[in-house]
Amino acid sequence: MNDAVLKADNLQTYIGHHHILQGISFEARADAVTVLIGRNGAGKSTTLKTLMGLLPPSEGVIVYNGMNIQGKRPYEIARMGIGYVPEDMGIFADLTVEENFKVAKLKEDEATAGRLDRILELFGALGKFWHAPAGNLSGGQKQMLAIGRAMVNNISLLLIDEPSKGLAPIIVEALIEAINQIKEECVVVLVEQNFYMASAVGDYFHILDDGRIVHSGRMEALVDDEELKSRYLGISKSKS
């Protein structure tokens, strides 16, 4: 099954009077990680918020698993099986790690408990700080909590916004490993500025600039395209 799990067509999103997304179209294929890249302010986060229903688009179509989801409320979209990890991680700092998971869980069944076990296996630190306020976690642990929390329900699509932001290289390494495992369970759409991470997990890329997609393709092609990388990503020399 290689059809698109998610298909965005001509998304136009305004924030106040600012026309931020000016026609975003892309697909996220099953069995693949799709990476959205582009410089600061390009509209990557806005794209994810639009998909999630947090910033309803004024125009455009979003099809997820064959259903039109644009115009639906965020909670309806979440209940259809889309998990979301925002750029600021959206941790509930006053709640403990356990309570963060409790809020996230939509069901209390065996399947959910099984998924939680696997998440705690994947992110061991979370179990260690199970009863600690989530606000006390380190940056990397918070990121793990944000991702783990989003995966505790039966989701088929996970949207992650810049997970490597502000993390030490060794933790980025761990995140890459985690995402490579996560992609076995659900389709991942990743926003990532860190090209090392983007190329390590991504299969397809879309480059955003000024609210539009200016280039798309397979990740291997981008790794070799010095010109494209220096123009849109500010990478001068390839680092392999």
Partner 1 sequence: MTETILKRWDNELVIAGIAVLLLLPLFGMPPKTYLTLTIAGLAMGMLLFLVASGVSIILGLMDVLNFAHGALFAWGAYVGFSTFKLLEKWVQADSVLLNFGAFAAAIICAMTVVAVLGMVLERVIVRRVYGNHLFQILITFGATIVLVEMIRVIWGPNDDVMSVPLTFQGNWDVFDVIIDRYRIICILIGALVFGAVQLILKKTKLGLIVRAGVENRDMVQAMGHNIFLLFTGVFAVGAGLAALGGLAMSIFSLQVYPDMGSTYLLFAFIVVIIGGLGSVTGSLVGALIVGLSYNYVAYLVPWAAAGVNIIIMIIILLIRPKGLFTAGK
Q: Which residues bind Mg ion (CB under 5 A)?
A: 45, 87
Mapping DSSP onto H, E and C, the string for 66-96 reads CEECCCCCHHHHHHCCEEEECCCCCCCCCCE
Give the Cα-Cα-Cα angle 217, 63, 162 (nearest 5 degrees).
55
CB of 162 to Mg ion, least distance (A): 6
Q: Please tell me the distance from the alpha carbon of residue 33 to that of residue 109, in angstroms, as a whole number.
A: 28
Interacting span for partner 1 (CB under 8 A) from 16-24, 68-76, 210-218, 224-232: 68-76
Q: Is 19 in the site for ligand ATP (CB under 6 A)?
A: no
Residues binding partner 1: what is the number (CB under 8 A)? Answer: 22
Residues binding ligand ATP: what is the number (CB under 6 A)? Answer: 14
Interacting span for partner 1 (CB under 8 A) from 77-85, 115-123, 174-182, 198-206: 77-85
Q: Is 83 in the site for ligand ATP (CB under 6 A)?
A: no
Q: Is 56 in the site for partner 1 (CB under 8 A)?
A: no
Q: Is 23 in the site for partner 1 (CB under 8 A)?
A: no
Per the CB < 8 A criterion, the answer to whether 30 and 3 are in contact is yes
**Residue with smaller CB distance to Mg ion, 45 or 153:** 45
Binders of partner 1 among residues 97 to 116 (CB under 8 A) are: 99-100, 102-104, 106
Q: Which residues pair with 190 in a beta bridge?
A: 35, 160
Q: Please tell me the distance from the alpha carbon of residue 192 to that of residue 198, in angstroms, as a whole number.
A: 6
Give the relative orientation of helices 97-104 and 139-150 as an angle to the nearest 10 degrees: 30
- Radius of gyration of the chain measured on its C-alpha atoms: 17
Q: Of Mg ion, ligand ATP, partner 1, none, which one does residue 72 interact with (CB within 5 to 8 Å by kind)?
A: none
Q: Is 95 in the site for partner 1 (CB under 8 A)?
A: yes
CB of 48 to ligand ATP, least distance (A): 8
Q: Is 221 in the site for ligand ATP (CB under 6 A)?
A: no
CB of 76 to partner 1, least distance (A): 8
**Residue ranges with strand state E in 105-228:** 157-161, 187-191, 204-209, 212-218
Interacting span for ligand ATP (CB under 6 A) from 16-24, 59-67, 143-151, 199-207: 16-24
Return the amino acid letter for 225. Answer: D
Q: Please tell me the distance from the alpha carbon of residue 85 to that of residue 238, in angstroms, as a whole number.
A: 29
